[in-house]
């Protein structure tokens, strides 16, 4: 996209009467994409959504759950609920041949689909190479092979990740060489045992931090290599966070990243967080990601005669609207008590720590010990204990997460910004890609409200009662602190045989120590 004078056609009109296939519709991005298309493209014909039966729920059951999701409140409030009838489920799975479609559904998709949005992937940083190859790499290959058969396909939009290039400190909007020979990787996955594959995985990954970034990088080449068969584009979002503007500020169904931190902190069970406060963390709102996908699709189709390769659009903020935790640190406590939870188990408090070692020491005192206490109480009360298991899992994952916690990347998004400027003025309001006007402080407040409403499922009407409970927990927390310091004073007095006044001199030291931790 070298020219800056391109003017794209009006998006909603361009997508009118089109039939779309979306994978990963039960996930964060896929669900947000479906909502946006239904709400802003009133004349879209059909949205086929790939769904599999899961955990005793049929495909139809899962489709109904999707339709009942809170994300569609705005659509329903605008009396557009009938648009949900445009969702048509096709049963399948990207880790199966022909993505698991029945012969009838396969023919329907091949004959009708105009746009494919491939959002499905495993985001598990701890997943084995076999799992990530099967879903992220071969799943994408199966989508590409299906697209080659489609009779009316206009473009494939592949959702990748900015972290496909996590082995570089900075990345441009280009395809980089594959990190390994794809045929070699597939052959090893198919022939080696699980133990053997685990042994060779580090040598395959080289300087990639995990199997996720490695397989997503390989998957990009599956898409790019098919460009002579059909038009395609690749979207590389960074860490996707809650909605900035649409459908509701703060909407989320993801527990990853800062939403997960806030979720745990609001419960009072996550009290320490390892971050580099002054490092740049690349966060991007989910509605901006969805807008980029839709506009990139229109661009790729409308400009296909000028394109010679698959265009890449990085949906990122690091070089354009960088976020640093230092900018919002002062807000965290206020937000936790402005939007408290009815289900909080203790008085919320979140402190940012500068290293993994510091976090491990502090977490033992403020996470692990309280977790054993609360789990013991849970067992006595007949409730299933879970806090020890939760914090143990967090501690075990720190080594894998550390490269993402204490490293910053710079992802150029020049092409995405030019894409934004190619929109008509009215479309910039509806499908805008530029986060220049995003203010991180109010964004985090919306995120806190969204976590409460959509992840903890607590209604706004319970807020006053939750604040009353928060005040009671504050009193209980203060009383516990006084009791602990009194206990320390008594132990020092008895063990060392000193006077009460001498024992009290140690308390300021303990206060400073706990403040550091």
Each residue of 286-326: pLDDT tens digit?
999 999 999 999 999 999 999 999 999 999 999 999 999 99
Please check whether residues 41 and 95 belong to one and the same domain: yes
Nearest to 226 by CA among 130, 310, 351, 305: 310
The count of other CB atoms within 10 Å of the CB of residue 355 is 14
Number of domains in the chain: 2
> Any alpha helices (H) in 303-413, and if so which ranges?
332-338, 356-363, 369-381, 387-405
In this predicted structure, what is the pLDDT of residue 144? 97
56 lies in the same domain as 85? yes
Please list, residue by residue across 140-153, b when 16 or more beta carbons sit within 10 angstroms of its beta carbon and e when fewer do: bbbbbebbeebeeb
Give me the residues paired with residue 47 across strands.
20, 87
Q: Report pLDDT digits (tens) over 371-398.
A: 888 888 888 888 888 888 878 777 767 7
Q: Are residues 22 and 109 in the same domain?
A: yes
Distance in angstroms (rounded) separating the CA atoms of residues 259 and 265: 10
Tell me whether residue 139 is in a domain: yes
Do the domain assignments include residue 185? yes
For residue 364, being part of any structural domain is answered with: no
Q: What pLDDT is recorded for position 85?
A: 92
Interior/surface letters 198-235, b for 16+ CB within 10 angstroms, e for the rest: eeebeebbeebbbbbbbbbbbbbbbbbbbbeebbbbbb
pLDDT score for 77: 83
Instruction: Judge whether 329 lies within some domain.
Output: no
Is the same domain home to 436 and 469? Answer: no
Same domain? For 512 and 412 the reply is: no
Flag residues of the chain having pLDDT under 70.
1-4, 396, 399
Looking at residue 444, its pLDDT comes to 95
Alpha-carbon radius of gyration of the chain: 25
CA angle 35, 6, 241 (to 5 degrees): 35
Are both 198 and 122 inside the same structural domain? yes
- Indicate whether 5 belongs to any domain: no
Distances (CA, A) of 485 to 143, 491, 503, 506: 62, 10, 11, 10
Query: Which residues, 6+ apart, have CB-to-CB distance to 354 below 8 Å?
Result: 274, 275, 276, 277
Give the model's pLDDT for residue 150: 96
The answer as to whether 346 is a domain residue is no
| CA distance to 98, 470, 478, 480, per residue, from 475 (Å) | 60, 9, 5, 9
Backbone angles phi, psi at 411, to 5 degrees: -110, 115
- Say if residue 129 is in the same domain as residue 219: yes
169 located within any domain: yes
Contact 201, 228 (CB under 8 A): no
Q: Which domain holds residue 72?
A: 11-251+280-323+408-442
Residue 180 lies in a domain: yes
Give the separation between CA 419 and CA 427, rounded to whole angstroms: 12
């Amino acid at each position: 996209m070298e020219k800056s004078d391109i003017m794209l056609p009006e998006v909603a009109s361009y997508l009118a009467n089109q039939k779309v296939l979306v994978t990963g519709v039960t996930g964060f991005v896929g669900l947000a994409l479906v909502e946006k298309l239904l709400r802003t493209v009133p004349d879209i014909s059909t949205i086929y959504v790939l769904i599999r039966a899961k955990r005793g729920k049929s495909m139809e059951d899962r489709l109904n759950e999707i339709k009942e999701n809170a994300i569609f409140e705005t659509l329903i409030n605008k009396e557009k609920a009938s648009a949900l009838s445009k969702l048509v489920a096709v049963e399948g799975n990207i880790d199966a041949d022909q993505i698991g479609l029945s012969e009838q559904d396969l023919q329907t998709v091949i004959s009708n689909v105009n746009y494919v949005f491939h959002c499905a992937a495993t985001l598990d940083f701890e997943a084995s190479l076999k799992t990530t190859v099967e879903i992220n790499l071969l799943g994408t290959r199966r989508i590409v092979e299906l697209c080659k058969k489609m009779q009316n396909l206009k473009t494939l939009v592949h959702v990748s990740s900015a972290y496909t290039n996590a082995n570089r400190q900075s990345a441009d909007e280009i395809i980089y060489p594959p990190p390994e020979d794809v045929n070699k990787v597939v052959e090893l996955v198919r022939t080696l045992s699980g133990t053997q594959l685990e042994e060779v995985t580090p040598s395959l990954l080289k300087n990639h931090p995990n199997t996720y970034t490695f397989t997503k990088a390989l998957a990009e080449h599956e898409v790019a290599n098919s460009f002579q068969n059909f038009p395609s584009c690749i979207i590389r979002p960074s860490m996707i966070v809650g909605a900035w503007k649409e459908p509701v500020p703060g909407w989320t169904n993801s527990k990853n990243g800062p939403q997960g931190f806030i979720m745990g902190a609001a419960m009072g069970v996550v009290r320490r967080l390892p971050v580099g406060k002054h490092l740049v963390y690349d966060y991007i709102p989910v509605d901006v990601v969805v807008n980029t996908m839709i506009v990139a699709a229109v661009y790729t189709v409308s400009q296909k005669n000028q394109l010679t390769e698959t265009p890449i659009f990085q949906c990122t903020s690091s070089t354009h609207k960088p976020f640093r935790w230092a900018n919002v640190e002062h807000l965290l406590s206020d937000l936790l008590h402005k939007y408290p939870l009815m289900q909080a188990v203790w008085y919320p408090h979140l402190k940012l720590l500068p290293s993994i070692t510091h976090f491990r020491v502090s977490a033992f005192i403020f996470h692990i010990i309280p977790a054993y206490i609360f789990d013991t109480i849970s067992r006595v009360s007949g409730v299933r204990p879970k806090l020890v298991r939760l914090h143990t899992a967090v501690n075990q994952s720190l080594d894998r997460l550390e490269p993402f916690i204490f490293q910053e990347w710079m992802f150029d998004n020049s092409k995405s910004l030019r894409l934004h400027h190619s929109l008509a003025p009215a479309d910039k309001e509806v499908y805008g890609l530029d986060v220049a006007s995003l203010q991180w402080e109010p964004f985090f407040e919306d995120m806190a409200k969204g976590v409460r409403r959509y992840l903890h499922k607590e209604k706004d009407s319970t807020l006053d009662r939750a604040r009353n409970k928060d005040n009671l927990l504050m009193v209980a927390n203060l009383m516990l602190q006084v009791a602990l310091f009194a206990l320390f004073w008594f132990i020092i007095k008895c063990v060392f045989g000193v006077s009460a006044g001498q024992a009290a001199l140690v308390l300021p030291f303990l206060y400073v120590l706990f403040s550091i931790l």
